[in-house]
Structure 1
């Protein structure tokens, strides 16, 4: 049987009774849209983060888009972010009518190089959008200083960092707004699409609640445009309420898997070997994905599939600025050298809390086989 980077079935087998009870609770409640489950999850997710407001939306992409719109960012405004991210980050900026402006990332942790941000600021810049990638946080302190200095908004993309901390502070609690995805693969994942925005501002909260509901505050009366149909589903919200109580346990499980990889692969590292994830000082990594590097990545992935039936993923093989869909931005290849080099070397090993040790050992042993006995063939 093929080994994949993610599988929800072991977790579902363990939690099936609770998940089905959540569905039954919603179906028998008499309210299927924006009911008690959404309100309950919003309150509990906000409380987990020590934040005043949480607004449930239909997916993580719209969480970013609506967060920007709620802060008045739109047509022609520039938003500084990174190209080493999932494309939805940039799709959301574009969808809000704004212009993404890219800075490079750091080779050691793949996160936004905050030293490059100030040089990218222009009179049209209205927001900074750091991406807390792979499970750990961008250095937010310098970004906050730049935001205050230049009068910019800060929107955190936390889709991959539920429960991650920097200097003791949870991802999503530093900026003006923070966008989360609950896509099934996430650290806190639903059984379908879902998203949310955290904010400490009552005004931003009110704007977001209008934006997700056609621009309405009362039924049938539009207060403002643009408006969207972007509501978190009641069933997904109730499932997320149940899973939120287990979030810290999920994170502990991911860290346990990460430790076993680090121990099992340590002797395969070196200048011509694997590069394992680096935890930046001050960060508490939650390992949404376990991303390693090797200069012969493509050959390794091919041999792992052919010889060991292990199908691995690359997060992400194409920097956003190199995609045809963003050619209109005019960002030339070569302008983000670290991002572009990483895109040719990174790949993800299986990572989820219920990953059986036997499958993890299979991956470790297969990598050892490929990197040692077939090194010359590669």
Structure 2
């Protein structure tokens, strides 16, 4: 008597399989009474043959077979037509055991696929194949048909999210699993970006401006360190790639680099040179009164009431009047605090007799 696992390469269940029971007896055996794990399992015609038992729980299985003779045996002295029962153990083998599938980045363009689970349930041979989804939208290809035997992949797109599939196949079934999406490449580092405000004023109408230095094409002139190729810089004060400064605010803001919309690096505070933001200053049309041809010695605060200075820099401005001439008085502004590196600016304020 033998108990043999039934091969079923298309089986996808690890917990179910089948076995084939083969028995043989003497020529006078009419049939065999069968028990499966102690429960009635029908019969098998003699003197020998096979019977398949499908959809059985994977693991150990036990048969007890009792031959029944074709001759009539008188019931004298305990006589019986049943022969001696024989027990035979076997193993039901399901599809290969595959737990979770993992994908790990091993470089900027490479990754390795692994899986948990024993694979084989007994001593059966199991082959593995792997595939990877270079397109994060479509996911990995079917590794049963389009897989490779090596779990290592190269030529992936740097700074992309991909997932992988692992497939196990044996004579007794097939199993597969898919990993979650994994970032390929080393973690993006926060870039270092510094902008520069001109330290010398330039004329702007009847006033002056200390503007953001720009390139010939009009884009901000930036000192950028640590930016990777094919990434974009996103500024926290705009939420976009545009670096925008508000003369009314000297508040700090951050920058990060992103590959598409994700992944992104951590943020780092944007640095500056000369001043934290653009500065503008101009007369506001309120004139200084003259007394005997002089404006006297007005305070800085009084002079600043005749000027419009951008809000972020205004508290750091100190104004001083010069000698009036031709209906105008020169007012010189000196900068302090975060704006101290800026050169002085002189504006002409009107006077009234």
User: Fold-level match, TM-score > 0.5?
Assistant: no
For the superposition of Structure 1 and Structure 2, which TM-score range results when normalised by the shorter chain? under 0.3
Is the strand fraction higher in 1 or 2? 2
TM-score, normalised on structure 1?
0.16
TM-score, normalised on structure 2?
0.17
Larger Rg computed on CA atoms: 2
